[in-house]
Structure 1
Amino acid sequence: MANILHIDTSPRGERSISRQLSYELITSWKDTHLNDTVTYRDLGHHPVPHVDESWIAAAFTPPDNRTPELTEAIKLSDSLIDEFLAADRYILGVPMYNFSIPSKLKAYIDQIVRVGRTFAVTDNGYQGLVDSSKKVLVITSRGGSYRPGTPEAAYDYQEPYLRAIFGYMGLTDVTFIHADNLNAGDDSRAKSLAAAKEAIAQAVANW
């Protein structure tokens, strides 16, 4: 039995392609993995706050030395990290915004990437503290195509960043399913969505 953390990041509702595809994946997954549990976090509609000065002070103060105010300032981060570490697999729906990720996802990442909790600083450099056997699957929605070899590939700061930040925490088994070219006309859009749905079906069977 596995615990899946399912995260949506689009502020859109039914019109969100990333939501539709992540929902399709998690629904199919639950139909074929009956004993798995799913924790759902909707960052698009229920964002977490950005890091502030009190958060930083709390994060770099040993727990036993924190004032009640600092303990409160870091409380949500602790809860989000506990939730993140309790999961065995991660499924994210992430639209591309300005070649990168939504700010709501960045705020969440800043809450969970914490020294002593999800990474450590050692004599040999940074070390991820999250179990490297865990898997991440990211479904993106993109207006254009930024795949390797395309003219716009250099503008993709979404996949490289997410690979880097998950790897920083220790998660190196990261799979991407890109629904791209969504603004390139009906034919291109239909082909891309069909390919993404086929990749989702394969992920449910093999991931």
Structure 2
Amino acid sequence: MPKLLHLSCSPRPDSESSAGARIFIDGFRQVHPDWDIDIMDLWRERMPEFAGPILEAKYARMNGQGFDDQRAGFAEAESMALRLSLADRVLISTPMWNFGIPYKLKQFVDIIVQPGLTFRFNPSQGYIPLLKDRPTLVIIASGSDFSTGMNRGRIDMATPYLREILRFIGINDVRFVAIGPTTGPRQPIEAARGRTSKRLVAMAASF
């Protein structure tokens, strides 16, 4: 059964990014009723701290050493990376925090971006991604309007970071949908919400 993996990165179930994800998934289900929707809520999912066995295993792998003593701990990272690699489509819904991504999403990235797991290094070729490309949609909600990449001199650092880290592990077919503003006067918020909803419905039909 084909699978859509949804990385849900907001701690608030009623957040704008979560609402956008629901709109997209509802539309996606109508077109793909036979698909499995695997929801990974990063605020409820067990994610190991990037320390101890996982960190030791990473450096052991980087140095070409065995890591039997750290195998059990590293298995958690392997399981999370496998869950991503088995997905035919990926949806990431996240708020923008302090111009970047929430620390839970960064923790997920740090756990799965491992040598020999999602990338490898060859002295003559450099870094080589290990995941196959797949259509990926990233919904980013922010208090301000970052649809042009900048707002009053402030830079959206979440979008370029996610684009680059996904490319690093092999995922290049990535589309971004910005939701904003989500704070301030009601009229701009509702207008942005309406525009985004229409766009997500249209994207769900062909994703």
- In the superposition, the TM-score normalised over structure 1's length comes to 0.91
Deviation at 1:153, TM superposition (A): 6.0
Quote the Cα distance in structure 1 between the aligned partners of 2:7 and 2:149. 29
Quote the Cα distance in structure 2 between the aligned partners of 1:158 and 1:12. 19
In structure 1, the gaps of 5 or more residues are none
CA shift digits 1:94-127 (9 cap, x unpaired): 0000000000000001111111121111222111
Residue aligning to 2:87: 87
Contact 2:120 2:128 in 1 (8 A): yes
- SS of residue paired to 2:60: coil
Residue aligning to 2:25: 26
1:78 aligns with 2:78: yes
**Could you tell me which amino acid in structure 2 is paired with residue 137 of structure 1?**
L
**Could you tell me which amino acid in structure 2 is paired with residue 174 of structure 1?**
V
**Could you tell me which amino acid in structure 1 is paired with residue 192 of structure 2?**
S
**Could you tell me which amino acid in structure 2 is paired with residue 52 of structure 1?**
A
TM-aligned CA distance change 1:47 to 1:102, over 3 Å: farther
Quote the Cα distance in structure 2 between the aligned partners of 1:5 and 1:88. 8
TM-aligned CA distance change 1:39 to 1:149, over 3 Å: closer
1:125 aligns with 2:129: no
Quote the Cα distance in structure 1 between the aligned partners of 2:191 and 2:150. 17
**When the two structures are aligned, how many residues end up with a matched partner?**
204
TM-aligned CA distance change 1:187 to 1:27, over 3 Å: same
- SS of residue paired to 1:45: coil
Quote the Cα distance in structure 1 between the aligned partners of 2:10 and 2:192. 19
Residue aligning to 1:4: 4
Deviation at 1:42, TM superposition (A): 0.3
TM-aligned CA distance change 1:64 to 1:124, over 3 Å: closer
Quote the Cα distance in structure 2 between the aligned partners of 1:119 and 1:36. 28
List aligned pairs for 1:50-65, cutoff 5 A.
Answer: 50-61=49-60, 65=66
In structure 2, the gaps of 5 or more residues are none
Residue aligning to 2:174: 174
Quote the Cα distance in structure 2 between the aligned partners of 1:136 and 1:149. 19
**Could you tell me which amino acid in structure 2 is paired with residue 57 of structure 1?**
E
Deviation at 1:35, TM superposition (A): 1.9
**Could you tell me which amino acid in structure 2 is paired with residue 172 of structure 1?**
N
- SS of residue paired to 1:61: helix
Quote the Cα distance in structure 2 between the aligned partners of 1:121 and 1:153. 37
TM-aligned CA distance change 1:42 to 1:200, over 3 Å: same
- SS of residue paired to 2:11: coil
- RMSD over aligned CA atoms reads 1.9
Deviation at 1:160, TM superposition (A): 0.4
TM-aligned CA distance change 1:170 to 1:100, over 3 Å: same
CA shift digits 1:165-196 (9 cap, x unpaired): 00001111111111111113100000111111
TM-aligned CA distance change 1:5 to 1:76, over 3 Å: same
Quote the Cα distance in structure 1 between the aligned partners of 2:29 and 2:101. 27
**Could you tell me which amino acid in structure 1 is paired with residue 26 of structure 2?**
T
- In the superposition, the TM-score normalised over structure 2's length comes to 0.91
